[in-house]
Structure 1
Amino acid sequence: MTLQEVCCQRIQELCDERNISMNKLSILCGMTQSTLSNITSGRSKNPTVSTIKKICDGMDITLAEFFDYEPFNELDQEIK
């Protein structure tokens, strides 16, 4: 699994836990629905930390809470 895939999975999981639609999340985090859709569908291959921070702010969680997710720990090292 790639970093981008894990980020998408994490966003989806957090939305499901909170019963938040992608449309509602886009409003909460102040980004367009198309931008959020590009991230969660995989069309945006490398979301920036500042974009992830906006999503976290919209969900009222910290970056640490976002990345405190076991699949992030299972990613292969990208630079060897």
Structure 2
Amino acid sequence: MTYADAISIRLLNICKERNITVNKLSTLSGISHSTIQDLVTGKSKNVKLKTLHKIAVGLDMTISELLNFPEMNETIFEDE
């Protein structure tokens, strides 16, 4: 698994838990739909901290809460 895979899984799980679409996540975070789409499909390999911060704020979370999930904390990642 790569970091991009883990972020993709996390964002899709949050959308499912909150019953929101990727488009709604884009609106909430103020990030373009194409950028969010690239994150959830794993196409974007180098997500910026600023982007994660905007997503977290849009979801009314801290970055710590956004990144605190099993795949991020328990996985040995492949080099990218």
Query: TM-score, normalised on structure 2?
Result: 0.89
Partner of 1:17: 17
Q: 2:47 corresponds to which residue?
A: 47
Residues of 2 paired with 1:57 and 1:36: CA distance?
14
Task: Give 2:6's aligned residue.
Answer: 6
How many residues are paired up?
Answer: 79
Structure possessing the higher radius of gyration over alpha carbons: 1
Give the superposed CA RMSD: 1.5
Aligned mates of 1:21, 1:78 — CA distance in 2: 29
Q: What is the one-letter code of the residue matched to 1:27?
A: T
Q: Deviations over 1:5-36 (max 9, x none)?
A: 00110011111110110111111100111111
- Contiguous gaps of at least 5 residues in structure 1: none
Counterparts of 2:6 and 2:77, CA distance in 1:
14
Q: Is the 8 A contact 1:2 1:75 kept in 2?
A: no
Identity %: 38
TM-score w.r.t. structure 1 length? 0.89
Shift >3 Å, 4+ stretches: none
Q: What is the DSSP-based 3-state SS (H/G/I as helix, E as strand, rest coil) of the residue aligned with 2:31?
A: coil
CA contact (8 A) 1:15 1:22 kept: yes
What do the CA deviations read for 1:18-57 (whole angstroms, capped 9, x no partner)?
Answer: 0110111111100111111011111111111111111111
2:53·2:63 contact (CA, 8 Å) conserved in 1? yes
Mapped contact 2:8–2:39 kept (Cα < 8 A)? yes
